[in-house]
């Protein structure tokens, strides 16, 4: 059966599976990035302190977390979303009988998939770091009892953060594909916002307000809703940019 006779859902499935196989280099880079992050994490604790008691007892406390791994993974997600819009990746879809609409929906599914994979591997890498430090160092690991709900919240939060970063990268990439002037405009806006933040101080600038609005949200449902709305706005805008590019061509 030719692709022309397939249903849209079947073509979408073929495109999605094709991306998973064709873009394997992204998964290789994810492994390399997280290995590099683990090496940085193994160099020492994130923070430490010590105190002594009367007598020969002295206690050193170090905090080992997966924050470095998470940070590297978020940067990887941003770059992955950006690369997905380059001609090397973007024009591959048109080996099939498809449209930019189908291509972008497949891209969204692919970004969701790599966000899930990146989230799970980052969580596993964080646990690996703690295990290595306990095994090779003369330390006593002190943790809170594992609560499934907290673990799921941690995984869910990281997934939304990572998906958000991939969509930001994808949105910026689509803007650049629409017009090269955005290569200058977008960094100028970013730098200008930072300069404004430094001049106005905390509490009176866009960056600080955005940080408290999204990052500091303590209720997971509200946090998820805010991220979902932002992701929807960015992707719909990128989708419309893609449609305009299709009309131009």
Instruction: Read off the pLDDT of residues 77-86 as tens digits, 9 standing for 90 and up.
Output: 999 999 888 8
pLDDT at 52 over 50: no
pLDDT at 89 over 90: no
- DSSP sequence for the chain: --GGGS-HHHHHHHHHHHHHHHTHHHHHHHHHHHHHHHHHHTTS-SEEEEEE-SSS-EEEEEE--SHHHHHHHHHHHHHHHHHTTSHHHHGGGGGSS--HHHHHHHHHHHHHHHHHHHHHHHHHHHHHHHHHHHHHSS-----PPP-HHHHHHHHHHHHHHHHHHHHHHHHHHHHHHH-TTHHHHHHHHHHHHHHHHHHH-TTSSHHHHHIIIIIT---HHHHHHHHHHHHHHHHHHHHHHHHHHHHH-
What is the domain partition of the chain in residue ranges? 3-47+61-178+217-248
- The reported pLDDT for the residue numbered 54 is 52
Question: Quick one: average pLDDT of 186-202?
Answer: 71
Question: Quick one: average pLDDT of 243-247?
Answer: 67
Question: Quick one: average pLDDT of 204-224?
Answer: 74
Question: Quick one: average pLDDT of 104-130?
Answer: 90
Q: Which of 121, 93, 226, 110 is nearest to 170 (CA)?
A: 110
Instruction: Read off the pLDDT of residues 91-113 as tens digits, 9 standing for 90 and up.
Output: 666 666 566 778 888 899 999 99
């Amino acid at each position: 059966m030719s692709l022309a006779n397939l249903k849209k859902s079947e073509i979408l499935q073929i495109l999605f599976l094709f991306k998973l196989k064709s873009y394997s280099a992204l998964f290789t880079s994810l492994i390399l990035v997280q290995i590099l992050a683990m090496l940085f994490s193994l160099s020492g604790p994130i923070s430490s302190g010590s105190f002594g008691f009367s007598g020969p007892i002295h206690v050193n406390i170090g905090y080992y977390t997966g924050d470095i791994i998470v940070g590297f993974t978020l940067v990887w997600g941003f770059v992955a979303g950006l690369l997905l819009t380059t001609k090397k990746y973007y024009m591959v879809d048109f080996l099939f009988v498809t449209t930019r609409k189908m291509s972008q929906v497949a891209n969204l599914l692919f970004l969701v998939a790599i966000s899930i994979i990146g989230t799970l591997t980052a969580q596993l890498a964080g646990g690996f770091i703690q295990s290595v430090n306990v095994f090779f160092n003369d330390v006593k690991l002190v943790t809170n009892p594992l609560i499934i709900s907290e673990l799921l919240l941690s995984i869910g939060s990281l997934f939304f953060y990572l998906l958000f970063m991939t969509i930001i990268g994808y949105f910026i990439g689509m803007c650049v594909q629409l017009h090269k002037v955005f290569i200058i405009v977008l960094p100028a806006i970013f730098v200008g916002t930072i300069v404004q933040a430094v001049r106005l101080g905390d509490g009176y600038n866009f960056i600080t307000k955005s940080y408290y609005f999204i990052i500091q949200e303590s209720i997971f449902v509200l946090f998820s809703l805010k991220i979902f709305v932002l992701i929807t706005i960015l992707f719909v805008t990128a989708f419309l940019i893609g449609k305009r590019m299709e009309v131009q061509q």
